[in-house]
Amino acid sequence: MNRLEQTILKNLIYNEEYARKVLPFIKNTYFADQTDKIVFEEIESYINKYKNLPTYEALIINFDEKKNITEQTAKSVVELLDGIQETKNEKTPIDWLTEQTEKFCQDRAIYNAIMESVSILDNRSKTKTKGQIPELLSDALSVSFDTHVGHDYINQHDTRYEFYHRTEKKIPFDLDFFNKITKGGLPQKTLNIALAGTGVGKSLFMCHVAASCINQGYNVLYITMEMAEERIAERIDANLLNITLDDLHVIPRDDYDRKFNALKTKVQGKLIIKEYPTASAHSGHFRSLLNELRLKKNFQPDIIFIDYLNICCSSRMKMGSSINSYTYIKAIAEELRGLAVEFAVPIVSATQTTRSGYSNTDLGLEDTSESFGLPATADFMFALISSEELEQLGQIMVKQLKNRYGDPTLNKKFVIGVDKSKMKLYDVEANAQKIVDSGQVEDTPSKFISNDSHNFKQRFGQIKT
């Protein structure tokens, strides 16, 4: 038999520290030899039942009592256990053995996934389809030992102190109040949601923030299920080139090329825009896209925009008579947040208001369309509110609805300027922030503050050609 497999089985019997550490991660399918598999299953069953390691004698007696194994198999099992018994006093360094065991599990998981994929392709599988092959391989490649068993409050106070004072990686906004309420930007592994009515500016907000991110040197993935890829790129063109959407369609080719070449010298981040048909893509498709971009284009996003959450589908359930909208939308939100955690990025998306919320100038969480499970899952949620008066002033009101990054009652409401012709948002003058029940507080200006439109135009003005 394989020397490593024999060493693994021996230490599962005689090394309690090793057994407790690795047993949760080893599967019987990782053992190619039938005898090894049978012995492992018996060891695992004994430990789970008696909460202790089996002895050589206990295993021999258990196998003697089994009536469902052949005489030849029983003989092979005894020979294996005798071989293990003879070498029980040979000590193996636990760190090295744990590392080798993890590698063994990874290799066997990949081998099993490949063999199962071949079986599916040959139409020999009755339970799986070709569409499940990427998931099989992805699961196999993700096999690893996570030996963390919890935080020791008394003995790990030093690690807590380091956590309190660690600088968290965030993606900053170019809008002052958004930086204030998020304490510097969007952290990794989070789901962030904009709530707004139809036509208020959900896509405008996401396009502006995406443009700001690549302007700061971050890589951006923009997934759209509402508009074509070219329409999203058009909005970001208007934002970064500082020309109106109408002018984009009449600008001479030479002028457009000059402006874009000038932009390329200043913008360090990359932007990939991917379109999916409405209600046809879920977190599994997005995961495959991320892996494909990494392999084919060496592209790993720092932030992901999904336009927008309610027209995604769930990878775990299908909408039907037995599934209500609360459960379905909550499932989508949980899957997207799981994706954010898996790839260590913030995800920004949006959702619609209810019919009554469309005309409401003071939106709340209860105005979330289809499912209250969405705000329950999101880390940060805010409303974009418009009215005739705000439209005349060229402004949108922002109201915090949920904020895991800070106190949502501080700077609860504020306004930002909007230039829809150029798909831009900007900070307005301080005297424009006179809002009832705003909860606004004085704060140290961030490096992105621009309290007047002159400074905004200096920073994001027309690119000189």
- Structural domains of the chain in order of their starting residue, each with its CATH number: 3-141 (1.10.860), 170-460 (3.40.50.300)
- Residues 325-384: tens digit of each pLDDT: 888 889 999 999 999 999 999 999 999 887 666 666 778 777 776 677 888 899 999 999
- Residues 252-296: tens digit of each pLDDT: 999 999 999 999 999 989 999 999 999 889 999 999 999 999 988
Give pTM, 2 decimals. Answer: 0.67
| HEC string for 298-333 | CCCCCEEEEECHHHCCCCCCCCECCECHHHHHHHHH
Looking at residue 378, its pLDDT comes to 93
The label of the residue with tokens 């002159």 reads 454
The residue among 282, 383, 379, 377 whose CA lies nearest residue 330 is: 377
The label of the residue with tokens 């029980």 reads 88
Contact assessment for residue 438 and residue 408, using Cβ atoms and an 8 Å cutoff: no
**Strand, helix or coil for residue 274:** strand
**% the chain with pLDDT above 70:** 91
Looking at residue 462, its pLDDT comes to 42
Distance CA 269, CA 138 (A): 28
Q: Could you report the average pLDDT of every consecutive run of 10 residues in the chain (465 residues)?
A: 85 92 92 93 92 91 85 90 89 91 93 92 85 83 76 88 86 95 95 91 95 96 94 95 94 94 92 93 93 91 94 83 80 94 95 72 75 86 91 92 92 93 92 73 51 42 43
Distance CA 368, CA 354 (A): 6
> Which residues contact residue 191 at a Cβ distance below 8 angstroms, ignoring those fewer than 6 apart?
333, 336, 337, 340, 346, 347, 349, 377, 378, 379, 380
Q: Which two tokens stand for residue 386?
A: 């418009």
Contact assessment for residue 296 and residue 211, using Cβ atoms and an 8 Å cutoff: no
